[in-house]
Amino acid sequence: MSLLVKICGLSTPETLETALEAGADMVGFVFFPPSPRHLSLEAGRDLGRQVKRRALKVALTVDADDATLDNIMDALAPDILQLHGKESVARLRDIKQRFGRPVMKAVPVATSVDLAVLPGYAAIADRILFDARAPKDATRPGGLGEPFDWHLLENLDLRLPYMVSGGLDAGNVAEALRVTGAGGVDVSSGVESAPGVKDSEMIKAFIRAARATQELSVR
Protein backbone atom coordinates (compact mmCIF):
# COMPACT_ATOMS: atom_id res chain seq x y z
CA MET A 1 0.00 0.00 0.00
CA SER A 2 1.46 3.34 -1.04
CA LEU A 3 2.28 6.02 1.47
CA LEU A 4 -0.13 8.96 1.72
CA VAL A 5 1.37 12.42 2.13
CA LYS A 6 -0.84 15.28 3.27
CA ILE A 7 0.14 18.94 3.27
CA CYS A 8 -2.23 20.78 5.58
CA GLY A 9 -3.05 24.43 6.17
CA LEU A 10 -2.49 25.57 2.60
CA SER A 11 -3.73 29.09 1.98
CA THR A 12 -2.21 30.48 -1.23
CA PRO A 13 -2.48 29.42 -4.88
CA GLU A 14 1.31 29.29 -5.15
CA THR A 15 1.98 26.92 -2.26
CA LEU A 16 -1.03 24.79 -3.15
CA GLU A 17 0.36 24.41 -6.66
CA THR A 18 3.75 23.44 -5.23
CA ALA A 19 2.15 20.74 -3.09
CA LEU A 20 0.16 19.39 -6.03
CA GLU A 21 3.09 19.38 -8.44
CA ALA A 22 5.34 17.75 -5.85
CA GLY A 23 2.90 14.88 -5.53
CA ALA A 24 0.89 15.43 -2.36
CA ASP A 25 -1.91 12.88 -2.07
CA MET A 26 -4.02 15.09 0.17
CA VAL A 27 -4.19 18.86 0.53
CA GLY A 28 -5.71 20.24 3.71
CA PHE A 29 -7.65 23.45 4.22
CA VAL A 30 -8.34 24.81 7.71
CA PHE A 31 -11.69 26.29 8.67
CA PHE A 32 -11.07 27.29 12.28
CA PRO A 33 -10.76 31.02 13.08
CA PRO A 34 -8.18 30.74 15.93
CA SER A 35 -5.70 29.12 13.54
CA PRO A 36 -3.23 31.25 11.54
CA ARG A 37 -4.12 28.94 8.64
CA HIS A 38 -7.85 29.68 8.75
CA LEU A 39 -9.52 30.25 5.39
CA SER A 40 -12.60 32.20 4.49
CA LEU A 41 -15.23 30.24 2.58
CA GLU A 42 -14.47 32.27 -0.54
CA ALA A 43 -10.73 31.51 -0.32
CA GLY A 44 -11.57 27.86 0.22
CA ARG A 45 -13.78 27.88 -2.87
CA ASP A 46 -11.02 29.34 -5.05
CA LEU A 47 -8.34 26.96 -3.77
CA GLY A 48 -10.67 24.00 -4.08
CA ARG A 49 -11.25 24.76 -7.75
CA GLN A 50 -7.49 24.88 -8.29
CA VAL A 51 -7.04 21.30 -7.09
CA LYS A 52 -8.97 19.81 -10.06
CA ARG A 53 -8.90 16.27 -8.67
CA ARG A 54 -5.10 16.17 -8.58
CA ALA A 55 -5.28 15.33 -4.87
CA LEU A 56 -7.91 14.67 -2.24
CA LYS A 57 -9.29 17.84 -0.66
CA VAL A 58 -9.47 17.67 3.13
CA ALA A 59 -11.48 20.15 5.21
CA LEU A 60 -10.17 20.51 8.76
CA THR A 61 -12.72 21.64 11.33
CA VAL A 62 -12.84 21.75 15.12
CA ASP A 63 -16.17 20.94 16.79
CA ALA A 64 -18.01 22.53 13.87
CA ASP A 65 -21.81 22.63 13.86
CA ASP A 66 -23.94 21.47 10.93
CA ALA A 67 -24.41 24.96 9.53
CA THR A 68 -20.65 25.51 9.39
CA LEU A 69 -20.11 22.14 7.74
CA ASP A 70 -22.88 22.87 5.25
CA ASN A 71 -21.10 26.07 4.21
CA ILE A 72 -17.75 24.28 3.90
CA MET A 73 -19.32 21.52 1.81
CA ASP A 74 -20.79 24.12 -0.51
CA ALA A 75 -17.56 26.11 -0.84
CA LEU A 76 -14.85 23.44 -0.95
CA ALA A 77 -16.71 20.23 -1.81
CA PRO A 78 -14.14 18.31 0.25
CA ASP A 79 -13.38 14.65 -0.34
CA ILE A 80 -12.66 14.06 3.36
CA LEU A 81 -13.79 15.76 6.56
CA GLN A 82 -11.04 15.97 9.18
CA LEU A 83 -12.50 16.38 12.65
CA HIS A 84 -9.87 17.84 14.93
CA GLY A 85 -11.90 18.70 18.02
CA LYS A 86 -13.57 16.79 20.83
CA GLU A 87 -16.24 15.29 18.61
CA SER A 88 -17.90 12.24 20.17
CA VAL A 89 -18.41 8.91 18.47
CA ALA A 90 -22.11 9.81 18.09
CA ARG A 91 -21.17 13.11 16.45
CA LEU A 92 -18.90 11.30 13.99
CA ARG A 93 -21.77 9.03 13.07
CA ASP A 94 -24.11 11.98 12.58
CA ILE A 95 -21.62 13.82 10.37
CA LYS A 96 -20.98 10.79 8.18
CA GLN A 97 -24.69 10.19 7.71
CA ARG A 98 -25.55 13.82 7.03
CA PHE A 99 -22.68 14.78 4.74
CA GLY A 100 -21.84 11.47 3.07
CA ARG A 101 -18.09 11.96 3.18
CA PRO A 102 -15.30 9.85 4.67
CA VAL A 103 -14.31 11.09 8.11
CA MET A 104 -10.77 11.31 9.47
CA LYS A 105 -10.74 11.70 13.26
CA ALA A 106 -7.76 13.36 14.88
CA VAL A 107 -6.72 11.74 18.16
CA PRO A 108 -4.40 13.80 20.40
CA VAL A 109 -1.65 11.74 21.98
CA ALA A 110 0.57 12.40 24.98
CA THR A 111 0.47 9.07 26.86
CA SER A 112 -0.83 5.55 26.24
CA VAL A 113 -4.03 6.50 28.09
CA ASP A 114 -4.98 8.67 25.11
CA LEU A 115 -5.30 5.56 22.94
CA ALA A 116 -8.25 4.25 24.98
CA VAL A 117 -10.68 6.16 22.73
CA LEU A 118 -9.60 4.25 19.63
CA PRO A 119 -12.15 1.40 19.63
CA GLY A 120 -15.09 3.82 19.67
CA TYR A 121 -13.74 6.09 16.95
CA ALA A 122 -12.47 3.20 14.85
CA ALA A 123 -15.99 1.80 14.63
CA ILE A 124 -17.15 4.92 12.76
CA ALA A 125 -14.18 6.81 11.30
CA ASP A 126 -12.62 5.94 7.95
CA ARG A 127 -9.14 6.98 9.06
CA ILE A 128 -7.40 8.02 12.27
CA LEU A 129 -4.90 10.87 12.49
CA PHE A 130 -2.61 10.74 15.50
CA ASP A 131 -1.44 14.20 16.55
CA ALA A 132 0.48 15.59 19.50
CA ARG A 133 -1.79 16.60 22.36
CA ALA A 134 -1.82 20.38 22.71
CA PRO A 135 -0.89 22.01 26.05
CA LYS A 136 -3.86 22.89 28.26
CA ASP A 137 -3.47 26.61 27.58
CA ALA A 138 -3.31 26.22 23.79
CA THR A 139 -5.90 28.07 21.69
CA ARG A 140 -6.02 25.36 19.04
CA PRO A 141 -5.68 21.57 19.07
CA GLY A 142 -3.01 21.14 16.39
CA GLY A 143 -0.49 22.78 14.10
CA LEU A 144 1.78 23.57 17.04
CA GLY A 145 4.94 21.97 15.71
CA GLU A 146 5.51 19.52 18.54
CA PRO A 147 5.87 15.74 18.05
CA PHE A 148 4.60 13.11 20.45
CA ASP A 149 6.33 9.90 21.52
CA TRP A 150 5.95 7.81 18.37
CA HIS A 151 6.84 4.66 20.30
CA LEU A 152 3.34 4.81 21.81
CA LEU A 153 2.08 3.54 18.44
CA GLU A 154 4.47 0.59 18.23
CA ASN A 155 2.60 -2.70 17.98
CA LEU A 156 -0.65 -0.80 17.47
CA ASP A 157 -3.51 -3.15 16.60
CA LEU A 158 -5.76 -0.92 14.53
CA ARG A 159 -7.65 -2.32 11.56
CA LEU A 160 -8.10 1.11 10.12
CA PRO A 161 -5.77 3.29 8.02
CA TYR A 162 -3.94 5.82 10.16
CA MET A 163 -1.66 8.78 9.67
CA VAL A 164 0.77 10.58 11.94
CA SER A 165 1.16 14.32 12.44
CA GLY A 166 2.62 16.69 14.98
CA GLY A 167 6.04 18.26 14.66
CA LEU A 168 6.97 16.45 11.47
CA ASP A 169 9.47 17.89 9.02
CA ALA A 170 11.80 16.68 6.27
CA GLY A 171 14.41 15.73 8.86
CA ASN A 172 12.32 13.43 11.05
CA VAL A 173 9.57 12.05 8.83
CA ALA A 174 11.56 8.90 8.02
CA GLU A 175 11.98 8.07 11.69
CA ALA A 176 8.31 8.75 12.40
CA LEU A 177 7.28 6.32 9.70
CA ARG A 178 9.79 3.70 10.80
CA VAL A 179 8.63 3.74 14.42
CA THR A 180 4.87 4.05 13.92
CA GLY A 181 4.33 1.97 10.81
CA ALA A 182 1.81 4.60 9.72
CA GLY A 183 0.38 4.54 6.22
CA GLY A 184 0.51 8.30 5.92
CA VAL A 185 1.99 11.53 7.25
CA ASP A 186 0.46 14.96 7.68
CA VAL A 187 2.51 18.15 7.94
CA SER A 188 1.63 21.78 8.48
CA SER A 189 3.98 23.89 10.62
CA GLY A 190 6.93 21.72 9.53
CA VAL A 191 6.77 23.26 6.06
CA GLU A 192 6.37 26.87 7.19
CA SER A 193 8.77 29.79 7.45
CA ALA A 194 6.41 31.46 9.97
CA PRO A 195 3.06 30.43 11.49
CA GLY A 196 0.61 30.06 8.63
CA VAL A 197 3.20 30.92 5.96
CA LYS A 198 3.98 27.87 3.83
CA ASP A 199 7.41 27.59 2.20
CA SER A 200 7.49 25.98 -1.24
CA GLU A 201 11.00 24.56 -0.86
CA MET A 202 10.13 23.04 2.51
CA ILE A 203 7.01 21.46 1.02
CA LYS A 204 9.04 19.86 -1.75
CA ALA A 205 11.73 18.69 0.67
CA PHE A 206 9.16 17.09 2.96
CA ILE A 207 7.45 15.19 0.16
CA ARG A 208 10.83 14.03 -1.18
CA ALA A 209 11.87 12.79 2.26
CA ALA A 210 8.61 10.92 2.78
CA ARG A 211 8.74 9.32 -0.66
CA ALA A 212 12.38 8.28 -0.14
CA THR A 213 11.30 6.37 2.95
CA GLN A 214 8.68 4.56 0.92
CA GLU A 215 11.20 3.66 -1.79
CA LEU A 216 13.59 2.21 0.79
CA SER A 217 10.84 0.04 2.29
CA VAL A 218 9.99 -1.39 -1.13
CA ARG A 219 13.54 -2.55 -1.85
- 186 a catalytic residue: no
What values do phi and psi take at 125, rounded to 5? -65, 155
In this prediction, residue 219 carries a pLDDT of 39
User: Of the residues 8, 94, 114, 199, which is catalytic?
Assistant: 8
Please tell me the number of Cα atoms within 13 Å of 20 on its side-chain side: 18
In this prediction, residue 52 carries a pLDDT of 96
Say what angle helices 41-51 and 13-21 make with each other, to 10 degrees. Answer: 30
0.95 exceeded by pTM: no
Report how far Cα 128 is from the mean position of its chain's Cα atoms.
9
Contacts of 14 (CB under 8 A, 6+ apart): 200
User: Of the residues 46, 94, 131, 199, which is catalytic?
Assistant: 131
- 25 a catalytic residue: no
Which of 153, 83, 148 shows the shortest CA–CA distance to 121?
Answer: 83
Are 206 and 165 in contact, with CB atoms under 8 Å apart?
Answer: no
Q: What is the spatial distance between Cα 78 and Cα 57, in angstroms, rounded to a whole number?
A: 5
> Strands 162-165, 192-194: parallel, antiparallel or unpaired by DSSP?
unpaired
Low-confidence ranges of the chain (pLDDT < 50): 143, 218-219
In this prediction, residue 134 carries a pLDDT of 75
